[in-house]
A and B are shown apart, each in its own frame.
Chain A
Amino acid sequence: MKPNATGIQKKKMQGYVGFSNYPNQVHRRSVKRGFNFTLMVVGESGIGKSTLINTLFDSKIFPDREETPPSAEPIKGVDVTSMSADIQENGVKLRLTVVDTPGFGDSINNEDAWQPILENIESRFDAYLAQENRVNRSKISDNRIDAVIYFIKPTGHCLRAIDIEFMKRLHTKVNLIPIVAKADTLTARELELFKAKIMADINYHGIQIFKPVSDEFDDPETVSDNREILSKIPFAVIGSEKLVERPDGTMVRGRRYPWGIIEVENEEHNDFIKLRQMLLRSHMEELKDSTDMVLYENYRTQKLLSMGHVQDNNVFREFNPLVLLEEERRAHEAKMQKMEAEMTAVFQQKVQEKESKLKLSEEELYARHKEMKTVLEKQRAELDDKKKRAEASVRPITPMEQHPTKGKKKNIFSGF
């Protein structure tokens, strides 16, 4: 077998080895250990949060709301409370924690309604971070929020200001699952239009909500399931803890109206089944994974950077001597080449300088030579001149000697 680029060889086995049993071992272990899942519900009072949770898990997680007499004190601010329950199904233990947010959206001024909720989510991240940094990390309790179910009022129009504000503040910190509450208010056609408006608003504001995605490893059934779930987002649900009797005598969970019965588990009536499927049956692991790997990690990075930690990338280098040598050699070679290039450049530069200097002096010499030449020429011309004159003056002397001087021309010699 040829080694591929990374050096890992693909080998084919000749018989059954048995490591394919590993997922089963993991499964048995986790079943023994049990799981935990933390859900948060956000929505205004009376929109159906408690009922939906009780319906989803088919147990009374939230007790009935007690009747308090009317009081002059309006609800102040948002409270964050949590309820835990250990439920078991087919030998699998689940510690379910549901975090409620009573008071959200109920005051006159709801500008900061999202703040206590965000603080709660971040404090859970902080608690986990602190546990991770402990010396003894054998027992880490994870109470980070795995998903937030946000209840949208069935107005039929686009999202309200408080919906958009909340989702924009929280979508990078938690898995957001918006749902249309009290779906029995809207007809099928109205619901279709409403869902389209909600998604348009969500996309317009760049809000990231949790969506099931299929990758190439999934089998076709999962892919089609995911596509079906995706087509119904946001889910329009109703909840009910009561059993009602249908005309044919069967008892179902639902709501009885004078004009008919809406059934919780009827896919044609509402999307409860899809929500339950996504939340519990198919994507619970993905939600937990996303919380752990993506959302928590992002939070941790931000937090540590803001505290002044600097990333030291040297820790990521592979410790392999051959590779190290190879790297060193390459580095050395590169250095040599660089030095060579530098020296060549310097040499070139010096040569050029010298050349220009010599050229300059050559020119100077040439100029001087020329100058001298002209001077010499001048001198020669002068001398020639003088010579001619001298020759001219010598000729008249010769005739004077042949004839005695007639005249009283005294010359120096006749004085004697």
Chain B
Amino acid sequence: MSAPANDSQDYVGFDTITQQMERKFLKRGFNFNVILVGESGMGKSTLVNSIFSSHLVDSQGRRTAQEVIRKTTEISPVTQTLEENGVRVRLTIIDTPGFGDQCNNEGCWVPVIKYIKDQHAAYLERELKPQRDRVINDTRVHACLYFLNPGSRGLRPLDVEVLKRLTEVTNVIPVIAKSDSMTVEERTAFKRRIKEELVFHRIAVYPYPSEEDCDEDRALNSSIRDLVPFAVVGSEEIIDVNGTPVRGRRHGWGVINIFDETHSDFVHLRNFMLRTHLSDLIEVTSQRHYEQFRTSQLRQIKELRAQQAAAAASGGIMGSMPQQVPPQVPAVHQPMA
């Protein structure tokens, strides 16, 4: 109720831990890894460049007729260091060119899931080393922006398959880029339909409800959940609207300002991802997805060791020690489609 004043003798001073942590954080900086999953031409690169207000990634779409259509999904991570007010972030954007672009898209999600699991595996391997680094370079994917097709009557079969698998390994945030093709009514109907289908198919998108949340957090989370999927418009152009520079798109019938809340959910998405839930995204990746992965991996190793011990015992070969299985985690981890 009444905290002792800073100068009084009863003041202990452990509340300065927040500043101590901040200083440490400033020194160290942090990693933030985002993967973009969606077909070519959905607006992935433009959206990311708009969110971080800088040209981070180039569009990997096919630009000339001579370019060949990619046969598989490629994984192309791009890492850059951004700094704002002394805070440094090592931002890695992982693009997935080729995803969903072929006639036959069976299995186009396999390279994506494999990449995400590989990052978990690499982290686990470093954790299990007898001599660990003080700070392990965190390459785990903290957020996945999944791009939905505007105009479809809901989730497409491909979306359902991929989302089911993605939500098991990372935080998935569904977005509709290029939402300037939908009127407000269409947008509302589409969002409602998507939410229905997500519930029906039992696909859990971020943010997840948690018992730890206080009322404030719960209110914020529910307002975020209402907005899902975020209907956004991205733009790398600054256009002039009556003298003021505006980041947006100019059409013959009007000008879209991406920061205008009535025009798009861009502001909400950016605030949600960076201003309010950034640390939560990183934490949830570590506590939920990584832990799930770790549990399943260690269980597999245990089973493998038990099998080998049983085999050695029943085989009865003289003088052979039960095989020591070093914690080679990546060897056990199989990419499960």
Q: Residues on A close to B: CB < 8 A?
A: 44-48, 65, 69-70, 72, 74-75, 106-111, 113, 153-158, 160-162, 164-165, 182, 184-185, 187-188, 197, 200-201, 203-205, 255-263, 266, 268-269
Contact = CB atoms under 8 A, between A and B. Distances in A.
Given A46-B149, A155-B42, A160-B101, A108 B178 contact: no
Contact of B156 (A65, A106, A158): A106
Contacts of A158: 61-65, 67
Given A46-B153, A184-B180, A258-B263, A161 B103 contact: yes
A69 B200 CA distance: 9
B157 A74 contact: yes
A262 B150 CA distance: 18
A72 B155 CA distance: 11
Question: What is the predominant secondary structure among interface residues of chain B facing chain A?
Answer: loop
Interface string B83-117: 00000000000000000011111100000000000
Contacts of A44: 152
B101 A108 contact: no
Given A155-B42, A155-B61, A201-B65, A109 B181 contact: no
Contacts of A203: 65
A108 B40 contact: no
B41 interface: yes
Contacts of A111: 103-104
Question: What is the predominant secondary structure among interface residues of chain A facing chain B?
Answer: loop
Given A106-B157, A184-B181, A259-B263, A197 B65 contact: yes
Interface of B: 39-42, 59, 61-67, 69, 101-106, 149, 151-158, 160-161, 178, 180-181, 183-184, 196-197, 200-201, 249-257, 260, 262-263
Q: Considering residues A70, A164, A205, which has the most beta carbons from chain B within 10 angstroms of its beta carbon?
A: A70
B253 A262 contact: yes
A415 to B, nearest CB: 137
A110 B61 CA distance: 20
B267 to A, nearest CB: 14
B255 A259 contact: yes
Contacts of B184: 257-258
In the A-B complex, the 10 residue pairs with the smallest Cβ-Cβ separation, listed nearest first, are: A260-B254, A155-B41, A157-B61, A259-B254, A204-B65, A74-B157, A46-B151, A260-B253, A70-B200, A158-B62
A74 B160 contact: yes
Contacts of B42: 155
Contact of A184 (B155, B156, B251): B251
Q: Considering residues A74, A107, A161, A165, which has the most beta carbons from chain B within 10 angstroms of its beta carbon?
A: A161
Contact of A161 (B101, B149, B256, B263): B101
A368 B17 CA distance: 141
Contacts of B106: 108-109
Contact of A107 (B41, B155, B157, B253): B157
A204 B69 CA distance: 14
B66 A160 contact: no
B263 A157 contact: no
B178 A257 contact: no
Nearest to B185: A256
Given A45-B153, A258-B263, A185 B63 contact: no
A106 B255 CA distance: 32
Contacts of A261: 253-254
A153 B101 CA distance: 12
A70 B197 contact: yes
